[in-house]
Amino acid sequence: MEEKLNLTILIVDDSSVSVSLLETVLLKEGYQVITANSGPRARKLAVEKRPDLIILDIMMPEEDGFEVITRLKKNARTASIPVVFLTGKDDLEDKLSGFNLGAVDYITKPFQVAEVLARVRLHLKLSIATNSLITSQTNKLRQLEKAQTSMLTTPEQLPKANFSVYYSTFLEAGGDFYDVFQISEDMFGYFVVDVSGHDIATSYITAAIKALLKQNCNPIYQPQESMRMINDVLVEILSDTTYLTACYAKLNRKKKTLTIVNAGHPPVIYLPKKGEPRLIDVDGDILGMFKEVYYGQQDIKVSPGDRFFLYSDGLIEKPALKKVWSECLPEVLEACSNIKDTPTQGLALELACLMIDKTCKPEDDIVVLGVEV
């Protein structure tokens, strides 16, 4: 976290008397103070100055405090700034409304100087502690960036998962990632992630995802529950321009069931031992962008010898031909039909070789997981 010599407080009130009094009190305590006499002006200053705390009057013309805080919380640049309401009414309903909108506290007019200072100190301490924790966790994840490849599970490390993998990065470290893990004696998880963009900096997310999978993918959670919990954490640690698509398949070899959850990712390909390949398309929101999300879940019965494929869009997109991945799904289904007799250990590589056009250099990371029940 960037070290700041002074903490900045934004005072928002249409009463010049209140503003002047609060400003005088806070300046004497060593805080930097900026002021606004209207909601629009306050929101503009909040974006530009990024204050550490906002003291916001409820009763104002044009935009009242409730409307101001609502707009602040919808803006990614100001959503995390703590807001303390200033009100002339000690009304429980108003307080509950404010707390529901994201306020952290209330100061009632006429206010006592000692109370104002105590509440300001408290919420600045809480904010600093929270930001420090997030920064600490983020730095630890970034330290693991160089170890990305070593964190990828190989078929030799987990032979009971019965999978093969093809993994190719566009840059030295990839934005795509996969993990294969054992949930219980007869239950395995298969996870493929595609981080927006293919900048080397995105690769630090590999460590975060692996840690989140370990924490949230276990027998007590359904895959859609695991996906929601992973999203809740990613929303807090990712920038407002970064998101992930992902697909999670949980295979219960004892019950012969395959459960699939999709987060805006290309659909799973299911290849029955006796039958033609088909797409398992499940609706779901992307990861890391929205707090309110929906993830569908589909369960299918499988048999020994059946196969399925998880992959990133780099496998099927053809940028040079201006073809997005959704247009190339018939091609990948046909390719899967042609590898029915390929041994399990060669599935992923064979599919990649069939799909990657030798005349079109890939412009993205590529992950392919081929699994046999």
* pLDDT tens sequence across 224-252: 999 999 999 998 888 778 889 999 999 99
131 and 52 part of one domain: yes
| Number of domains present in the structure of the chain | 2
199 and 348 part of one domain: yes
122 and 151 part of one domain: no
202 and 271 part of one domain: yes
Q: Hey, what amino acid is at 368?
A: V
Query: Structural domain of residue 27, as residue ranges?
Result: 8-143
Which of 80, 108, 143 represents a domain boundary (last residue)? 143
123 and 156 part of one domain: no
Q: Residue-wise pLDDT tens for the chain (373 aa)?
A: 444 558 999 999 999 999 999 999 999 999 999 999 999 999 999 999 999 999 999 999 889 999 999 999 999 889 889 999 988 777 777 788 888 899 999 988 888 899 999 999 999 999 888 877 777 766 665 555 445 566 788 999 999 999 999 988 754 444 688 999 999 999 999 999 988 755 545 556 777 788 888 888 988 889 999 999 999 999 888 877 888 999 999 999 999 999 999 999 999 999 999 899 999 989 999 999 998 999 999 999 999 999 999 999 888 877 666 767 778 888 899 999 899 889 999 999 999 988 886 445 556 688 999 999 9
Q: Hey, what amino acid is at 366?
A: I
25 and 55 part of one domain: yes
Instruction: State both tokens at 272.
Output: 């029955």
Q: Where are the beta strands (DSSP E) in the chain?
A: 8-12, 32-36, 53-57, 83-87, 105-108, 163-168, 176-184, 187-195, 244-252, 257-263, 268-271, 278-280, 298-301, 307-311, 366-372
The pLDDT tens digits of the residues spanning 149-197 come to 667 889 999 999 999 999 887 544 446 889 999 999 999 999 999 887 5
- Residue 51 DSSP class: -
134 and 153 part of one domain: no
Compute the distance between CA of residue 99 and CA of residue 95 in angstroms, rounded to an integer.
6
Which of 111, 143, 175 represents a domain boundary (last residue)? 143
DSSP string, 102-145: T--EEEESSPPHHHHHHHHHHHHHHHHHHHHHHHHHHHHHHHTG
